[in-house]
């Protein structure tokens, strides 16, 4: 039963991590930018929710209507101002720039909010449903549900809209996309906006499920990167599956063994998988086969 | 006697059969041509020969030795060098450094710790650059060279290692006619010294004029082989290039392109 | 072999010789003078500026210098950008801290004798780590190195019985103290950095190093030219890790404390990568330039604004500005300029030559006409 509960917890938390990780992997898939700032962006989203819900008294869910547009604009602006000018060594240069952006945001958050751990509270924060002896926390159910909805929206955008087609074309071949008249810069900026927006939505949920401060971003980004590598870089579906697998493994190990080892096993799974599939579960090797 | 033997090689990409039981042989000491319509599996065959791809079935033998499972570095060590359809030179190294990369892989790790440009190696690099006519670009960064010059450099980089066989993948693609005739003369000069060539090319005039023997591929298999005149006259070749309706063709070299 | 005379007298013999032997842009004499001057300045610096506050900045700068040169030996040459070198830095720190603790070493000199061990430990760690991460390329490699670093940070937190966990470890201070406390650290770091630099120079001129550069440009083709790529990359990583491990060991003794979050810190790799990038990735002098200019700046900001996280904002903004203004690095920009000047010089020489005297067109434009008499080979049909 303990194991079953661990699996349930893992799946629910996995949904949340899938949401946070999907932004990272999407951005990478489209423009080969490793958004190292995704961790701090989740935290920023959490802080925005915290400010709006605690100081203004809005329900955390409603704050999404404000935070997602703000974060979308942030992502769009970061691309337009900082990433678009990069012409050479894009992979590493954009990583370093995003790293620096993360450092700046972290510094700002730390100065504004200090190091105290905070948490977003809502009426449903502590309630839960019991089914067949298993506990389903309302909060995690909400997180899972909202992740599912947002990821479904993302799916529709990617596969059912003209923008999604441009975006997938850009993913596969930016030069060819440019030649057929796709404004690659605009698509990239919008994608970073979406990625950051997804991160912020994840942040709202993260802020309710855990207490956080600015340095929480490092733990987050390392987990998100692991999920994204395991799923195969650039594969949104891979990230979702990997998130759920990883969190289930972590939670099961945490309940049967100890939470400390849950975290460690999380990484050991990565190492083990990569021994046999260096490209991740759903990824393709970055090899130029002519 | 044939130098390279390809036996029943199969290679799939998803549902596409790039090589479908391909069997052919390349003559030692000859300039072998390898032609075929787009998608007939020529480049895939090269990739299999040089260890860049593992075939799903069949075997490749080099002078009787099974090299099917060899990695590219081992194939190269056996004396098989190749160029690529889209030219691949080391973009940020200079022309001379490009040559030395290929020139040096003998003598184990001790040798690797030595300088890459010993006196004799320098002389050899100079000789090869003179041979292809790139000497005055010696210090230039390879990425700054024109496409045709890069083709010559790629050729020179293979040449400096003195392989027994050189596989050329579309050496004429995107190269201007003057440079092309220069390249052809270099190939013939090397061949006269005993180097075997396998040339994949769409430029029929180039292939027919240069090669001693031509193999034709179609849909992942060998269609026929023979000297240029025979291949040119073979109705099966026309069919492969033009589809099922066998139109009469007066100037094969023009229409085939 | 048939040799075409391709305008051989255009270049002076020395120019030709340079082109065929020397990977560097500046002449040997200019380079020699610059390095000597730089070395003299670095050796004299703490003797002239004796203020401990200044020399302590200088000590940290030397640590950075050593690590940046080492980082560049692997990442700069091979193009495999490691954001996980803090692993070796951290292992160097913990190796020294644990050895001092368990061997109950008190005398300062033998503390410093532990440094090579710190390097060896880091190098030993690099072997399994390298075998794992070097299986992937480019972005996946970068992210994997970051992940590996976090794994070790987590392990350092999770084994408090060995590492002290989040409480960290204290490292017994050296026996000497006072105003000259910093000097041994400074000179050991400088000396090790010079050794690393000499090795880096040797690698750049060796076949091994040329193999690394070829891997950077096109790994698959390098493999096709007989380079054993995995071995080459792994050796470079191990050498690099060795020196970073020494830097870690020095840091641990100098600071006297080891914490998981400062030993295995993502910041460290941000510094190393940015310093190398600014100077010029994959060049010999680039990392030196980057570390010597930006290292002290980093220290200054940390001392000045370290009380708040304002320094994080300043770093971040500074790095963004530098990366956007100098995307290529200083040294490669200069090298390119020099190369284009050289090429222009040759073109002018060629024009002068073609105007005077009988024209000797280059081989490229006069390739012999293709001979049509190609010996036919008997027909063999096969396959079909």
Task: Kindly state the tokens that stand for C265.
Answer: 């810190």
| pLDDT for C367 beyond 80 | no
Cα radius of gyration (chain C): 26
Angle at B11 between CA B5 and CA B17, to 5 degrees: 120
Task: Kindly state the tokens that stand for B74.
Answer: 């081992």
Interchain pair A290, B53: CB under 8 A:
no
Size of interface A-B (CB pairs under 8 A): 9
Q: Which of C268, C278, C210, C150 is nearest to A89 (CA)?
A: C278
What is the torsional sign of CA C266, C271, C277, C282?
A: negative
Interchain pair B140, C339: CB under 8 A:
yes
Q: Which of B176, B168, B170 is nearest to B147 (CA)?
A: B176
What are the tens digits of pLDDT across the range C129-173? 999 888 887 778 888 888 888 888 888 888 888 888 788 888 877
Which residue in chain A has the smallest CA separation from B85?
A290
Interchain pair A289, B47: CB under 8 A:
yes
The pLDDT score that the predictor gives to residue A42 is 93
* B123 to B160, C9, C106: CA distances (angstroms): 11, 16, 58
Contacts of C273 in chain A (CB under 8 A): 92, 96
Q: Which of A95, A62, A5 is nearest to A204 (CA)?
A: A62
Q: Which chains touch A (3 or more CB pairs under 8 A)?
A: B, C
Interchain pair B213, C377: CB under 8 A:
yes
End-to-end CA distance of chain B: 32
The pLDDT score that the predictor gives to residue C136 is 82
Q: How confident is the model at residue C23 (pLDDT cuts 50, 70, 90)?
A: low
The pLDDT score that the predictor gives to residue C194 is 94
The pLDDT score that the predictor gives to residue B10 is 87
Instruction: Give the domain B2-256 fold.
Output: Rossmann fold (3.40.50)
What is the torsional sign of CA A233, A237, A240, A244?
A: negative
Kindly state the average pLDDT of the residues C336-343: 71
What one-character-per-residue DSSP string does C244-311 give?
Answer: HHHHHHHHHHHH-EE-HHHHS-HHHHHHHHHHHHHH-TT-SSHHHHHHHHHHHHHHHHHHHHTTSTHH
The pLDDT score that the predictor gives to residue C130 is 92
Rounded to the nearest 5 percent, the helix, strand and coil shares of chain B are 40, 25, 35
Residues 181-220 of C with CB under 8 A from B: 205-211, 213-214, 216-218, 220
What one-character-per-residue DSSP string does A152-184 give?
Answer: HHHHHHHHHSHHHHHHHHHHH-HHHHHHTT--H
Q: Which of C155, C156, C130, C159 is nearest to C145 (CA)?
A: C130
The number of angstroms, rounded, from the C-alpha of A136 to the middle of its chain's C-alpha atoms is: 23
Domain ranges of chain B: 2-256
What b/e readout covers C234-251, taking b as 16+ CB neighbours within 10 angstroms? bbbbbbbbbbbbbbbbbb
The residue count for chain C: 384
Task: Kindly state the tokens that stand for B64.
Answer: 């009787």
What are the tens digits of pLDDT across the range A244-286? 888 888 888 888 877 777 777 877 888 788 777 777 777 654 4
Task: Kindly state the tokens that stand for C134.
Answer: 């070097």
The number of angstroms, rounded, from the C-alpha of B247 to the middle of its chain's C-alpha atoms is: 31
The count of C-alpha atoms lying within 13 angstroms of the C-alpha of C333, restricted to the half-sphere facing its C-beta, is 10
The pLDDT score that the predictor gives to residue A63 is 85
Which residues of chain A register pLDDT less than 50? Answer: 285-290
Interchain pair B185, C369: CB under 8 A:
yes
E strand or H helix that includes residue B6: strand B2-13
pLDDT mean across residues, chain B: 81
pTM of the model: 0.85
The pLDDT score that the predictor gives to residue A211 is 86
Contacts of A289 in chain B (CB under 8 A): 47, 52-53
* C50 to C64, C143, C177, C192, C196: CA distances (angstroms): 20, 42, 14, 22, 26
At residue B226, the 3 state secondary structure works out as strand
- Global ipTM: 0.83
């Amino acid at each position: 039963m303990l194991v079953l509960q661990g699996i349930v917890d893992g799946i629910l938390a996995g949904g949340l991590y899938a949401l946070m990780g999907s932004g990272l992997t999407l951005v990478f898939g489209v423009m080969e930018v490793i958004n190292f700032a995704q961790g701090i962006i989740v935290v920023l989203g959490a802080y925005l929710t915290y400010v709006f819900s605690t100081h203004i008294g809005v329900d955390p869910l409603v704050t999404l209507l404000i935070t997602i547009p703000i974060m979308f604009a942030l992502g769009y602006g970061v691309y337009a101002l900082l990433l678009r000018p990069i012409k050479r060594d894009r992979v590493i240069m954009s990583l370093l720039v995003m790293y620096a952006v993360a450092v700046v945001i972290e510094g700002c958050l730390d100065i504004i909010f200090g190091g105290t751990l905070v948490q977003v509270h809502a009426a449903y924060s502590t309630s839960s449903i019991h089914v067949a002896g298993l506990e389903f926390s309302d909060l995690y159910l909400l997180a899972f549900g909202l992740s599912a909805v947002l990821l479904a929206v993302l799916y529709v955008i990617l596969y059912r809209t003209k923008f999604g087609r441009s975006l997938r074309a850009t993913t596969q071949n930016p030069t060819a996309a440019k030649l057929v008249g796709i404004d690659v810069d605009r698509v990239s900026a919008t994608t970073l906006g979406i990625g950051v927006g997804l991160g912020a939505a994840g942040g709202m949920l993260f802020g309710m499920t855990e207490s956080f401060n600015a340095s929480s971003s490092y733990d987050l980004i390392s987990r998100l990167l692991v999920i994204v590598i395991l799923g195969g870089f650039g594969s949104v579906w891979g990230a979702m599956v990997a998130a759920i697998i990883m969190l289930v493994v972590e939670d099961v190990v945490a309940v049967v063994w100890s939470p400390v080892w849950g975290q460690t096993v999380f990484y050991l799974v990565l190492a083990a998988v990569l021994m046999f599939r260096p490209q991740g579960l759903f990824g393709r090797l970055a090899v130029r086969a002519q | 006697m044939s130098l390279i033997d390809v036996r029943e090689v199969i290679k799939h990409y998803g549902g596409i059969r790039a090589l479908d039981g391909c069997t052919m042989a390349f003559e030692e000491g000859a300039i072998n041509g390898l032609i075929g319509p787009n998608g007939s599996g020529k480049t895939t065959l090269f990739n299999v020969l040089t260890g860049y791809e593992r075939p799903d079935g069949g075997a490749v033998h080099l002078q009787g030795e099974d090299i099917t499972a060899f990695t590219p570095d081992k194939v190269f060590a056996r004396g098989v060098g190749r160029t690529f359809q889209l030219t691949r030179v080391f973009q940020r190294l200079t022309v001379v450094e490009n040559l030395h990369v290929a020139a040096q892989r003998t003598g184990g790790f001790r040798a690797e710790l030595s300088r890459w440009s010993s006196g004799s190696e320098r002389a050899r690099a100079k000789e090869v650059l003179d041979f292809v006519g790139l000497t005055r670009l010696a210090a230039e960064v390879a990425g700054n060279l024109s496409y045709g010059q890069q083709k010559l450099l790629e050729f020179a980089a293979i040449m400096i290692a003195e392989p027994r066989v050189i596989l050329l993948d579309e050496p004429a693609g995107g190269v201007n006619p003057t440079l092309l005739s220069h390249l052809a003369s270099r190939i013939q000069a090397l061949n006269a010294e005993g180097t075997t060539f396998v040339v994949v090319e769409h430029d029929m005039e180039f292939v027919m004029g240069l090669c001693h023997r031509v193999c034709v591929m179609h849909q992942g298999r060998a269609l026929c082989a023979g000297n240029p005149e025979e291949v040119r006259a073979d109705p099966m070749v026309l069919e492969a290039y033009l589809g099922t309706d066998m139109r009469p063709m007066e100037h094969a070299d023009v229409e085939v392109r | 072999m048939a040799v075409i005379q391709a305008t051989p007298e255009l270049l002076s013999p020395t120019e030709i010789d340079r082109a065929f032997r020397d990977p560097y842009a500046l002449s040997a004499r200019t380079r020699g003078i610059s390095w000597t001057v730089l070395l003299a300045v670095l050796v004299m610096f703490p003797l002239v500026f004796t203020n401990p506050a200044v020399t302590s900045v200088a000590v940290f700068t030397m640590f950075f210098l050593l690590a940046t040169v080492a980082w560049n030996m692997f990442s700069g040459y091979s193009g495999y950008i490691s954001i996980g070198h803090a692993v070796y830095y951290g292992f160097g720190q913990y190796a020294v801290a644990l050895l001092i603790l368990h061997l109950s070493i008190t005398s300062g000199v033998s503390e410093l004798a532990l440094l090579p061990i710190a390097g060896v430990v880091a190098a030993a760690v690099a072997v399994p780590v390298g075998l794992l991460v070097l299986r992937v390329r480019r972005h996946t490699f970068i992210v994997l190195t970051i992940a590996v670093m976090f794994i070790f940070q987590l392990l350092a937190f999770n084994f408090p019985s060995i590492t002290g966990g989040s409480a960290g470890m204290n490292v017994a201070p050296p026996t000497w103290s006072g105003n000259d406390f910093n000097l041994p650290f400074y000179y050991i770091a400088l000396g090790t950095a010079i050794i690393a630099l000499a090795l880096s120079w040797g690698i750049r001129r060796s076949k091994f190093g040329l193999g690394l550069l070829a891997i950077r440009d096109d790994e698959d083709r390098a493999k096709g030219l007989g380079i054993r790529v995995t071995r080459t990359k792994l050796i470079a990583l191990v050498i690099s890790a060795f020196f970073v491990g020494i830097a870690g060991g020095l840091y641990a003794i100098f600071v006297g404390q080891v914490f998981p979050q400062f030993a295995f810190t993502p910041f460290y790799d941000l510094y190393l990568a940015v310093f190398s990038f600014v100077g010029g990735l994959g060049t010999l002098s680039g990392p030196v330039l980057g570390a010597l200019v930006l290292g002290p700046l980093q220290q200054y900001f940390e001392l000045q604004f370290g009380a708040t996280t304002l320094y994080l904002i300043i770093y971040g903004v500074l790095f963004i500005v530098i990366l956007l203004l100098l995307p290529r690095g200083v040294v490669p920009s200069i090298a390119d300029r020099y190369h284009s000047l050289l090429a222009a010089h040759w073109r002018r020489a060629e024009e002068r030559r073609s105007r005077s005297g009988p024209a000797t067109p280059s081989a490229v434009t006069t390739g012999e006409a293709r001979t049509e008499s190609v010996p036919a080979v008997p027909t063999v049909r096969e396959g079909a």
